[in-house]
Amino acid sequence: MRLLRYSLIAGSAAVVTGALMLATGAAVTSAAGPSRAVHVAAHQPSARFLAEARTALAGYLRHDHQPAELVHPARNGLRGTTKAGSYNWSGYADTSTTKGTFSAVSGQWTTPKVTCTAEDTITSEWVGLDGWTSSTVEQDGTLDWCFKGTPTYFTWYEMYPAGTIEVGTSLAPGDKITATVSRSGTSYTLSLTDATHSANSFTKTATCAATTCVDTSAEWIAERPAFSIGIAPLADYASWKLTAATETASGKSGTISSYAANDEISSVDATDSYDLSTPSALTGGNSFTTTWHNSY
């Protein structure tokens, strides 16, 4: 029998529409980008369908999610890399036991294309601070959802447990994304640039007390979101390649592999019998690819 250890892992929380709201203890302001005309790709669903999908998604994830519980211990780790398992995360995390260690994380990727069936499935790609070894997250990224058999794509950010996400609706497969989360003291800046459809880009600022947001991990993750009634089936995204991964730890800039302790995370099914999504080994210390295997 495989020995297991348990840990709280926060993932993406509730999606909300309309005005931005935060729970007590986190204040957010936004800096809107310049107004520009955006040419949406021909394959994009209609604005009416996207509005319906966004409303449905808000309802689908309206309750705060439960964190994943299962984490595998080390399995043949090399050069400081620990192989780990999670019900809902796949990718890499750098970890520390010292509060305030991490102050920035970033990465680049191309939005993957999901293959849909009649089943509602979802996947999310992001970078962030906290969550792997703590119960809060400060993160932003992209979300790909199969709604009524049709793929829909959004950009978002989150300061869990405040339970907020802002969604850009013109995201499309192939869009070039750069995402960053940085911290100065208790002030956080969450920014995402969609170089293909600029309307999806945003910069948000938030505050979180050091006793709440402890900054003991940095992550680069493909996820199937978890919430109060369970974990959603993972959408078939084929593969997701994360490049140009950087972090700042103890004031020093580096990559995933330059930090002494990093976890290589595979997403596993509820019975812990097979993998749903697995990461490749690191290339150049700052690049990897996760591969989809199954939805649940």
CA dihedral 8→164→13→55, nearest 10 degrees, is: 170
pTM of the model: 0.82
What is the DSSP code string of 233-286?
Answer: PBPB--EEEEEEEEEEETTEEE-TTTSS-EEEEEEE-TTSSSEEEEE---BTTT
Domain total of the chain: 1
CA 13-16-19 angle, to 5 degrees, is 135
Tokens of 204: 């948000």
pLDDT surpassing 80 at residue 36: no
pLDDT surpassing 90 at residue 161: no
CA Rg, the chain, in Å?
A: 18
Mean pLDDT in residue range 188-204: 97
pLDDT surpassing 70 at residue 13: no
What is the residue range of 11's domain? 5-292
pLDDT tens, 68-97?
344 555 444 445 688 999 999 999 999 999
Any idea what the CATH number is for the domain that residue 31 is in?
Answer: 2.60.120.700
pLDDT tens, 54-65?
777 766 665 554
Q: What are phi and psi of 169, to 5 degrees?
A: -100, 0
| SS3 assignment for 67-93 | CEEEECCCCCCCCCEEEEEECCEEEEE
